[in-house]
Amino acid sequence: MMLQLLYAPTSPFVRKVMVCAHLTGQVDRIQLLDSAAHPVRRDPRIAAHNPLAKVPTLILEDGQALYDSRVICEYLASATGGESVFPPLGTERWTALTRQAMGDGLLDAALLARYELTARPAEFQWPEWRSVLLKKVEACLVSIEAVAPELVVEKPTIGEIAIGCALGYLDFRFPELDWRAQCRRADRWNEAFQSLPAMLATRPHDA
């Protein structure tokens, strides 16, 4: 039986899910369903399964829907005993989950900053709000740089996956930030991490 994933090729949260699918050997179980997630225009194809009308949304064989990326990634890992992605209880698990929260938080702020320019009419845009959001991105980058020596490439946890997807999204949508200039250690780790087959197979692209 196939799992079905409502997705967008540019979504970093969808990328998280697909990276987990690759790492846990489940890509062939997932059928990708076209959707058009948007912060203003609700896509009824997504809303039929997820009241938030957001991607990623995973539809199980029995019709149950799972969302968001954190839930879906844990589901995929649990289906194959993927303890390397979600470590068992203990310090390693809390570290991985906290780093996932940092990567996801960076993405939340970056997406809102992008929507301020791409989804909000020019007359209603608020430059100060966007500036504050990008400050959050910068603060996350400082934290990522601090932990970079501890990040692994082989057998990554959900923490590394989230951070890798976040840095990949900055390269995709915010090249002007030039985060590498201030994050040399994170840059070195990221260069190696982005070369993993699971990351190469899930690189974002405009439709």
**Are 7 and 56 within 8 A, CB to CB?**
yes
Hey, what CATH class is 91-200 in?
A: mainly alpha
pLDDT of residue 207: 59
Q: Is the pLDDT of residue 83 over 90?
A: no
Hey, what CATH class is 3-79 in?
A: alpha beta
pLDDT of residue 205: 81
CA distance 34 to 36: 7
Q: Is the pLDDT of residue 48 over 80?
A: yes
DSSP string, 85-142: TSPPTTHHHHHHHHHHHHHHHHHHHHHHHHHHHHTS-GGG--HHHHHHHHHHHHHHHH
Q: What is the pLDDT of residues 98-156, one digit of tens each?
A: 999 999 999 999 999 999 999 999 999 999 999 999 999 999 999 999 999 999 999 99
Q: Calculate the alpha carbon distances from 186 to 49, 94, 101, 102, 182 in Å.
A: 37, 21, 17, 14, 9
What is the arithmetic mean of pLDDT over 169-174?
97
What is the arithmetic mean of pLDDT over 66-92?
92
Q: Is the pLDDT of residue 81 over 90?
A: no
Domain boundaries, given as residue ranges, for the chain: 3-79, 91-200
What is the arithmetic mean of pLDDT over 3-14?
97
Q: What angle do CA 9, 202, 10 make, to 5 degrees?
A: 25
